């Protein structure tokens, strides 16, 4: 008989709602960063993920992540179409119904591929994106969810990822880099963010939702939940101020956009470690994130990679170093169910974290690059120069965000 803890269940429903809100938040964040002619084209990619990923999750996604085990890499189809998900079915976490677990994990599946879209903004056809979204979920996201959170290979190996350093940010950011290198540069250069206020709105929604993203990953209300909540804010704030300070010193002016971007980098970097490190550890992770992600974006600019909205530098690098820093700063004194990192003598755990994030990076890059090549054989991936000049809102969707003269 399922025992439903109403407090835990209510908290997890709230956290599910917060994580859902992050996807519209991401749409605003990305929408403000692109030019006026491409606002709807980038925003629709997030909202399509909100709907289409839900369909895939219901049909087979949840089952492939959390039902059974095939070679330690993927689940099976025993729970396809949510077979067996009833009112009284127990979830992997005691005290909440299986239905709640399905809903919460679905929100993670929705936002992860949407993160990638910022990398190839303004130059990918919608049909190619739709195929990309489907295949990437099936062959990259679902396997890593199963391997880490579904009891698969990496979980058995002892790899930890509290809320998605590998599962969300690393694989999405590395996939973004593969997309940039395959698709190439834009034919028409963007004039820069058309609305920093929209970016600020998106950042606020993301930051707000991130409390559900990180604190909710404890799946109950306890002291670890509270610590993850606090660590989320500490890392975001210290990273934001670090990025802000570096940019101020190097450009002589304090930039609002830098403060916003740095905060998101801190949020991405603390995600895998939020429930496993102390507040002091979160502060250090935030500072390191601000420095490393700032210079990762600078390197991207120097190499002239057209990662339009810095997905690799913020999410890919943030998720990568977050997993490694978890391997350094983790401490059982703040989460007995976690591990001791390198500073507490956990050398083996540190090496496992490093190996796991390298494996995820290689797979995400290789599959994404190969998948884009395959999609290109079926339908063009890149939008032509003339279409880019007109703008993707009009060319691909027959709609415009702003009507001239009004």
Q: How many CB atoms lie within 10 A of CB 277?
A: 29
202 neighbors 264 (Cβ within 8 angstroms): no
How far does CA 325 lie from the centroid of its chain?
18
73 neighbors 147 (Cβ within 8 angstroms): yes
Per residue in 112-160, pLDDT (tens digit) is 999 999 999 999 999 999 999 999 999 999 999 999 999 999 999 999 9
Helices (H) and strands (E) in the chain, counts: 17, 0
204 neighbors 4 (Cβ within 8 angstroms): no
pLDDT for 191 equals 81
pLDDT for 274 equals 98
C-alpha to C-alpha distance for 294 and 300, rounded to whole angstroms? 10
Q: Is a pLDDT exceeding 90 seen at residue 2?
A: no
C-alpha to C-alpha distance for 377 and 374, rounded to whole angstroms? 5
pTM summary value: 0.97
The overall average pLDDT reported for the chain is: 96
C-alpha to C-alpha distance for 160 and 154, rounded to whole angstroms? 8
Per residue in 336-355, pLDDT (tens digit) is 999 999 999 999 999 999 99
**Cβ contacts of 374 within 8 Å, gap of 6 or more:** none
Looking at domain 6-397, its CATH superfamily turns out to be: Ammonium transporter AmtB like domains (1.10.3430.10)
Q: Which residue has the tokens 């992600």?
A: 293
Per residue in 66-117, pLDDT (tens digit) is 999 999 999 999 999 999 999 889 999 889 999 999 999 999 999 999 999 9
276 neighbors 325 (Cβ within 8 angstroms): no
Where are the strands (E) in 165-265, listed by range? none
DSSP string, 48-78: HHHHHHHHHIIIIIHHHHHSS-BTTTB--ST
Give the chain's length.
406
**Burial group, residue 385, by CB count within 10 angstroms (0-12, 13-18, 19+):** exposed
317-342: b (≥16 Cβ within 10 Å) or e: bbbbbbbbbbbbbbbeebbeebbbbb
Q: At what angle do helices 279-303 and 317-329 cross, to 10 degrees?
A: 150
pLDDT for 405 equals 57
**Burial group, residue 1, by CB count within 10 angstroms (0-12, 13-18, 19+):** exposed
- Sign for the CA dihedral angle at 24, 29, 35, 36 comes to positive
Per residue in 275-303, pLDDT (tens digit) is 999 999 999 999 999 999 999 999 999 99
**Cβ contacts of 353 within 8 Å, gap of 6 or more:** 159, 160, 323, 324, 326, 327
pLDDT for 3 equals 87
C-alpha to C-alpha distance for 187 and 379, rounded to whole angstroms? 19
pLDDT for 67 equals 97
Q: How many CB atoms lie within 10 A of CB 358?
A: 14
C-alpha to C-alpha distance for 265 and 343, rounded to whole angstroms? 24
Q: Any idea what DSSP says for residue 382?
A: B
Percent of the chain with pLDDT over 90: 95
**Burial group, residue 253, by CB count within 10 angstroms (0-12, 13-18, 19+):** exposed
Q: Any idea what DSSP says for residue 309?
A: T
Distance set, CA 117 to CA 111, 161, 210, 296 (Å): 10, 23, 19, 19
Give the start-to-end residue ranges of the domains of the chain: 6-397
Helix (H, G, I), strand (E, B) or coil at 100: helix
């Amino acid at each position: 008989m399922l025992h439903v803890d109403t407090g835990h269940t209510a908290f997890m429903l709230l956290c599910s709602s917060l994580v859902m809100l992050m996807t519209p938040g991401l749409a605003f964040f990305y929408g403000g960063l692109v030019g006026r002619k491409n606002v709807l084209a980038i925003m629709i990619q997030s909202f399509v993920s909100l709907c289409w990923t839900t369909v895939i999750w219901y049909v087979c996604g949840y089952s492939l992540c959390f039902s059974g085990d095939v070679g330690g890499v993927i689940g099976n189809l025993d729970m396809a179409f949510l077979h067996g998900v009833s009112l009284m079915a127990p979830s992997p976490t005691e005290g909440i119904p299986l239905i709640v677990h399905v809903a919460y994990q679905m929100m993670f599946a929705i936002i992860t591929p949407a993160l990638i879209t910022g990398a190839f903004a303004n130059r990918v056809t919608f049909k190619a994106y739709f195929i990309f979204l489907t295949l990437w979920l099936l062959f990259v996201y679902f396997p890593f969810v199963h391997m880490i959170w579904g009891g698969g290979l990496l979980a058995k190996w002892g790899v930890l990822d509290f809320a998605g350093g590998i599962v969300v940010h690393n694989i999405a950011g590395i996939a973004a880099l593969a997309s940039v290198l395959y698709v190439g540069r834009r034919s028409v250069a963007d004039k820069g963010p058309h609305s920093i206020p929209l970016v600020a709105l998106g950042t606020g929604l993301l930051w707000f939702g991130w409390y559900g993203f990180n604190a909710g990953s404890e799946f109950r209300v306890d002291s670890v939940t509270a610590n993850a909540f606090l660590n989320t804010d500490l890392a975001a704030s210290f990273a934001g101020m670090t990025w802000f300070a570096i940019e101020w010193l190097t450009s002589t002016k304090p930039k609002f956009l830098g403060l916003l971007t740095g905060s998101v980098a801190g949020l991405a970097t603390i995600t895998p470690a939020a429930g496993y490190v102390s507040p002091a550890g979160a502060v250090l992770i935030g500072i390191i994130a601000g420095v490393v992600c700032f210079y990762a974006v600078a390197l991207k600019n120097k190499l002239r990679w057209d990662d339009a909205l810095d997905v690799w530098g913020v999410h890919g690098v943030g998720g990568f170093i977050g997993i490694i820093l978890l391997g350094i700063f983790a401490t059982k004194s703040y989460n007995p169910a976690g591990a001791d990192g390198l500073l507490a003598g956990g050398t083996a755990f540190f090496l496992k974290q490093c190996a796991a994030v390298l494996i995820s990076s290689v797979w995400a890059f290789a599959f994404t690059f190969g998948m884009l090549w395959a999609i290109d054989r079926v339908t063009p991936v890149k939008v032509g120069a003339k279409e880019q000049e007109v703008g993707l809102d009009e060319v691909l969707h027959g709609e415009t965000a702003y009507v001239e003269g009004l």
